Structure 1
Amino acid sequence: MNRADRLLACVVALLWGFNFIAIDFALRHFPPIFFAGLRFAVLLVPVLLLVPRPRVEWRWLLGYGLCFGTLQFVFLFIAMDVGMPTGLASLVQQASAPFTVVLGALLLRERISGRQLVGIAIAVLGMAAIAWHRAQTAALLPVLITLCGALSWAFGNLCARKAAAPNPLHLSLWIAVVPPLPMFALSAALEGPSTGWHALATAFTSVDGLAALGGLAYTAGIATVVGAGLWTVLMNRHPASSVAPFALLVPVVGFAAAWLVLGERPHPVELTAGAVVVLGVLFGSLRRRPPELRSTGPREPVAAEP
């Protein structure tokens, strides 16, 4: 990955890290599954009217929408609604990175370099340290549900990679076509047919409701349109094993945002482990220059990294 794409990956991590704060605000008012459908439903009409359908096979579009758009957020929102702490959710969700690398090697035959393996291992050790520290006060079920969301994200990454969309932004926007119907049907079955719609109707009548609408706007507009759009572009340009490790930066942003906005003060162990995560991502993603570039004396011009 070149410097510009690494910067874009860091921007996505920043946007997605703050997205957990927006989700926290939204789930104070909306039922989790209904909100998962609502975040895509608000994009559905503009996408159908204004965005051309991506020129990809339907199976990859549906797979991306089902895994990345539907299952990931259903699992994540349910986990946070049943007690998953915001900071810990931002961490466990990023298990998608090693999941993606492993699945990419197994299913897409993508090659993993030794440097990437070491970088991911360092980052996972940092994640494990944070998880060990936080898991002492968190129930096991929310963690397992969040891991299901992370695995769904990983399968979505592979679908985006296989789709190879000529315009990745169109693909990231068109996933809004897939989630609303299954999510609203699931919400009606599990949360009640009128619970979510009542919450939507009363959203403008309370402070929590207005904050939830703000969370909806951020989640749908910033996290989905901008964040998922950039992420899909990167997944289209580079192997999954090169892009996925940047997702490990999201919990670092998530912990910092939860500290600043929600008053969740991270322990020094978490701060140290977060620094280890950053170190691992940087080590795994920065490509070492070949020996001839580090030697002194005259040398032939070298083409820029793609």
Structure 2
Amino acid sequence: MSGRGLTHGRAVWLMVCVTLMWATAGVVTRHLEHARSFEVTFWRSFFTLVSLVVILPLWQGRAVFAKLRQGGRELWISGVCWSVMFTAFMVALTLTSVANVLVTMALGPLLTALGARIFIGHKLPARTWAAIVVAGLGIGWMYGTQLGEGQLLGTLVALCVPLAGACNWTVVQHAHAKGHDIDLVPAVLIGAAISTLVTLPLAWPFQANAHDLGLLAFLGLFQLAIPCVLSVLCARVLKAPEVALLALLEVIFGIALAWIGAGEEPEPSVLTGGALVIGALVFNELLGLRERRDASRQALTAAR
């Protein structure tokens, strides 16, 4: 299974399917009967780990395990970042609404750009600075309205996801700049293993019944492990701005599924803040995509 033979159009539709699979986490979590907080995180990470241990050798061969030993410091830092994302995401879903979590996670691309500016020295265009300001206003509005509603803690926990993601991609970009590419798939495996080990003592004693375990196994395999592998394939065909734009569908799908499937209607403040965040991201990525296309055309014209 590789990205060869995957056309651009098929990659787009495959990425749409990936975002739909990612978006099932919120609605599935709302149908758990007994599992709570860290136990939810433990079981999802455990089933993700088991799934990847089976899937990755079939995909990349047994050499994938050798990469764990040869990946170096950056690979393990990336793995720790993935473990924070896995853990914080599921814990946040048990503390606040699906919409709050997903809108907060949508800050990832902008925080990544900011991290690259601070730690690597990447220059940010004016459009990205403007997007960061607008998205910050949207998140600030959303957070401010939650101060007296008891959901602020969950939203702050959710903020750990894009922060860890920004750290992860900054490490990957820094390693790439030094000529050391990181295979993100083994890093995801490391993240699942760390999350499983860290949350095990916090999840004890277990309360999940067979119904809960079935749902959490679904999350581990179909909501995380499989779409993780598919997204890597898509990223080999699609440009980064295209992936960033398509990934935003997770926010829309996730809120819609939680609303339809669990009756969780988003608050007006979340919709307002989310509109600002997503609008800023879409505007930034579309302009970036157009700039790259214009630059490519100019290069082709000059070459002629």
The TM-score with structure 1 as length reference comes to 0.71
Matched, 1:72 2:74: no
SS at match of 1:138: coil
Which residue of 172, 175, 179 corresponds with 2:187? 175
Matched length:
278
Q: 1:141 is matched by which residue type in structure 2?
A: L
Q: How does 1:28-177 map to 2 (within 5 A)?
A: 29=35, 31-38=39-46, 39-48=48-57, 50-51=59-60, 52-53=63-64, 57-67=71-81, 69-81=82-94, 83-134=95-146, 136-164=148-176, 171-177=183-189
Q: CA deviation at 1:103?
A: 0.8
Matched, 1:226 2:227: no
Q: How does 1:135-284 map to 2 (within 5 A)?
A: 136-164=148-176, 171-192=183-204, 195=206, 199=208, 202-203=209-210, 206=211, 208-227=212-231, 230=234, 238=240, 250-284=250-284
Q: Cα deviation per residue 1:32-66 (whole Å; 9 max; x = unaligned)? A: 34124312232123324541436984222222221
SS at match of 1:178: helix
Q: 2:27 is matched by which residue type in structure 1?
A: I
Partners of 1:161 and 1:231 lie apart in 2 by 15
Q: Cα deviation per residue 1:174-211 (whole Å; 9 max; x = unaligned)? A: 2243134433332332223x63xx84xx53xx3x4433
Paired residues of 2:134 and 2:280 also in contact (CA < 8 A): yes
The TM-score with structure 2 as length reference comes to 0.71
Paired residues of 2:79 and 2:188 also in contact (CA < 8 A): yes
Q: 1:74 is matched by which residue type in structure 2?
A: T
Change (3 A) 1:117 1:258: same
Change (3 A) 1:14 1:276: farther
Paired residues of 2:138 and 2:274 also in contact (CA < 8 A): yes
Query: What is the percent sequence identity of the aligned residues?
Result: 21
Paired residues of 1:8 and 1:230 also in contact (CA < 8 A): no
Change (3 A) 1:18 1:189: closer
Q: CA deviation at 1:70?
A: 0.7
Partners of 1:5 and 1:277 lie apart in 2 by 28
SS at match of 1:261: helix
Q: 2:51 is matched by which residue type in structure 1?
A: V
Which residue of 275, 300, 304 corresponds with 1:303? 300
Moved over 6 A (4+): 3-6
Partners of 1:49 and 1:247 lie apart in 2 by 26
Paired residues of 2:44 and 2:219 also in contact (CA < 8 A): no
Change (3 A) 1:214 1:238: closer
5+ residue gaps in structure 2? Answer: 1-7
Q: CA deviation at 1:283?
A: 1.5
Partners of 1:264 and 1:60 lie apart in 2 by 39
Matched, 1:20 2:34: no
5+ residue gaps in structure 1? Answer: 294-299
Change (3 A) 1:10 1:217: closer
Paired residues of 1:117 and 1:284 also in contact (CA < 8 A): no
Q: 1:225 is matched by which residue type in structure 2?
A: V
Partners of 2:73 and 2:276 lie apart in 1 by 38
Paired residues of 2:40 and 2:216 also in contact (CA < 8 A): no
Counterpart of 1:297 in structure 2 is none
